[in-house]
Amino acid sequence: MIARARVTVDLAAIAENTRTVVSALGGRAVVGVTKVTCGSPRVGRAMLAGGATALADSRLENLAGLRDAGIDAPLWLLRAPVPALAEEVVRHADVSLESELETLEALDVAAGRLGKRHAVVAMVDLGDLREGMMPEALPAFVERAEALAHTDLLGVGVSLTCYGAIVPDEANLGELVALTQSAEALTGRRLHVSGGMSSSLDALVGGVLPPRVDGLRIGESILLGVSTVTREPILGLRTDAIVAEAPVIEVMRKPSLPRGTSAQDAFGGRPAFTDRGERLRAICAIGQQDAVPAGLRPLDAGVEVLGGSSDHLVLDVDDMASPPRVGDALRFLPGYSATLRLFTSPYVDKRYVGGDEG
């Protein structure tokens, strides 16, 4: 029995998954992405123990937390900052992903003021329409970066799948390599090819990840063990590194159809219901504020997620061999969206096992 919802993180499983990804990539660098866990230093250490060469996060607050926890590995900032945050970026991040010249120049000024150097990866948009300059803008960006006194152009990178759901393939990754080679002609030196995120593992499995790709930024596949293209297991990775639990606060037989005039639910939707007669239902003390209900896959046989309000998860438990009692914990494997909210919610306890649990 548990009193509050909690998420349990198996650090040994995360380290094992990282080792598997590192091995599969055959010498390419793996930058472990901690952002879905809100920059957990324990998760970061597990990724580094598994062979990640650096850690990355989209929030400066999380990078600062990793440094404060004593992690001295290179840190990458994934989300480009506004120029006003340039000094904070240089203080906490060794590398940042950039596409705007104004921000690039602000970072250089900040690095000079702090007596440091800052490295940038020039991001190009190859179809996903999230961050990145259009390819024709890359030469001007490279030339400006090379002229700066305190900034180093580390390489060229791409983001795919996260917004436009565009799959990394031979064409767009090949274009990334060609763009990097054109940038190398301007710099006169080899540049790092950052070939995307977890979704690029599908290109690896499919045999179309170009040999010239030097590294990937991997979070979801290490943490949840799945492809971000199919959401199916990939590379034999463990899918149970993160498990959510929530206590049951009510168990009762109820009709499967609401009674009365139907309007909008709490989130402006109009839910549809199927009449299945009376069914045994359970309510768990976790809701939309803590996790996306559709992203919770029950681990207990016979449990079906019906939906949820801000604070309640509604379940059909009629098919359970032994119905739960009030206070019992039901377990779930969270998908990415559910994991994101679980770690962000202050109402969900976090527990770490199998490694650096302090």
**CA-CA distance, 130 to 133, in Å (whole number)?**
10
- pLDDT tens across 299-337, in order? 999 999 999 999 999 999 999 999 999 999 999 999 999
The reported pLDDT for the residue numbered 267 is 81
Q: Which residues of 214-225 are buried (b: 16+ CB within 10 A; e: fewer)?
A: bbbbbbbbbbbb
In the chain, which stretches have pLDDT less than 50?
A: none
Decide: 73 and 18 in contact? Cβ < 8 Å: no
The reported pLDDT for the residue numbered 167 is 98
**CA-CA distance, 95 to 76, in Å (whole number)?**
5
Q: Which DSSP helix (H) or strand (E) runs through 336?
A: helix 336-344
Burial class (CB in 10 A: 0-12, 13-18, 19+), 256: middle
The reported pLDDT for the residue numbered 357 is 52
Decide: 319 and 302 in contact? Cβ < 8 Å: yes
For residue 111 the two structure tokens come to 């690095």
For residue 142 the two structure tokens come to 């490279």
Residue 116 annotated among the catalytic residues of the structure: no
The reported pLDDT for the residue numbered 356 is 67
**CA-CA distance, 324 to 156, in Å (whole number)?**
53
Active-site residue identified among 35, 116, 254, 350 = 35
pTM: 0.96
| Domains along the sequence of the chain with CATH | 11-224 (3.20.20.10), 242-353 (2.40.37.10)
Decide: 211 and 26 in contact? Cβ < 8 Å: no
